[in-house]
Amino acid sequence: MSRRLLAGLVAAVLCVPVAAAADDSLEDLMENAGAGDFRGVGVVMCTWGRDSAAATYEVERSRGMSMVHGPDRDLMLSGSLVAVGSDAEWYALEVADWSSWSLSDRYTLGEPVATTRLGRPATAVTILEDGYPRARLVIDDESTIPLVTEVLDGEGRVFRLASLVEFEVDPGSEDHTMPEEYRHRTVMESTNASPRLPSQSVGYRLVDAYAAPGGGTQSYYSDGLFSFSVFESKRGKTPSEFEGTTRFGVEGEVYRRIVTPTNVWVHWNTPDNSYVLVGDLPPDHLIAVLQTLPEPGDRSIFVQLWRRLFG
């Protein structure tokens, strides 16, 4: 679970929009993210119903290398390579290739407002979805780094909050380098998309598909602002992480979820396959997405008996 948290922290802190002038479009704003060196300390938290989670972190970016110090492990990010670990035990994940980014036309940029944050000149912006607030950001004017990011649910309540409480531009720290050795290194190779998953899902498009470690596929969806992956594998036991977690219903179907500070994890089974959805999308989006994916279901009594007898 710690590796999942750290990967999400990088997304929450680094992969978000930056400030823009009033006449800039949201797409221009997101394509021209600031890449300056900085160091910060922050907190990120997420709440969905009775489920909530929070974490503190330290983040530093220097000469294209990003490092996040999380609660129990560290993460380094450089280009397509991500290293997760601590001390001498590091794991690496490398994405072989990915598709170009594009933004859904349902999002627009509200009027920027001058403000101050951490004693620094900043700009507050609102990202609108079909005219209603979906995210609010406070952006440092000098570095264009987001100091505060709020993601709102369908009722306008804060679903996720990421806030830097300490921030320094161009700290002049020594360079970081990727570990020379890894306990395990995985390269994510592109593969054919699963025929059971849609190419479009309520504003999200299937961007890439990868062969998942251990078999199955990972299908990555994005609308340019939020994203999620669906991991599909042959039906097996419920992953131990989901045992005893929150059950929730969608159109009469039951799913299990885990809320982390940066992502929501959802698990369900169909008669022949198991699915895990991992994403940063807000709850109303997630519920709509689930209705377009394979429905939960159990095997018939005959199939269960046959497989118990003959495997």
User: In Å, what is the CA distance from 155 to each residue of 31, 44, 158, 276, 285?
Assistant: 28, 21, 9, 26, 12
Mean pLDDT of the 197-224 span: 90
- Beta-carbon contacts of residue 107 (< 8 Å; ≥ 6 apart): 26, 127, 128, 129, 134, 223, 224, 225
Q: What is the pLDDT of residues 219-275, one digit of tens each?
A: 999 998 999 999 999 988 888 999 999 999 999 999 999 999 989 999 999 999 999
156 pLDDT higher than 90: yes
Domains of the chain: 2-169 (2.50.20.10), 189-302 (3.30.200.100)
pLDDT tens column, 107-141: 998 999 999 999 999 999 999 999 999 999 998 88
- Closest C-alpha to 5, from 159, 162, 238: 162
What does the pLDDT average to over 51-62? 90
Predicted TM-score (pTM) of the model is 0.84
Are 57 and 42 in contact by the 8 Å Cβ rule? The answer is: yes
Distance CA 155, CA 134 (A): 10
Establish how many alpha carbons lie within 13 A of residue 146's alpha carbon, considering only the half-sphere containing its beta carbon.
27
Residue with tokens 């940066």: 262
pLDDT (0 to 100) of residue 45: 94
Dihedral angle over CA of 218, 224, 227, 232, nearest 10: -20
The pLDDT value given to residue 29: 62
Q: What is the pLDDT of residues 88-116, one digit of tens each?
A: 788 777 776 777 778 888 999 899 999 99
How far apart (Å, rounded) are the C-alpha atoms in residues 237 and 148? 40
Strand boundaries in 49-183, DSSP class E? 51-62, 65-69, 74-78, 81-86, 89-95, 107-109, 113-117, 120-129, 132-140, 146-152, 158-169
pLDDT band at 175 (very low <50, low <70, confident <90, very high): low
Per-residue b/e over 77-87, b at no fewer than 16 CB within 10 Å?
A: beeeebbbbee
Rounded CA gap, 200 and 205, in Å?
4
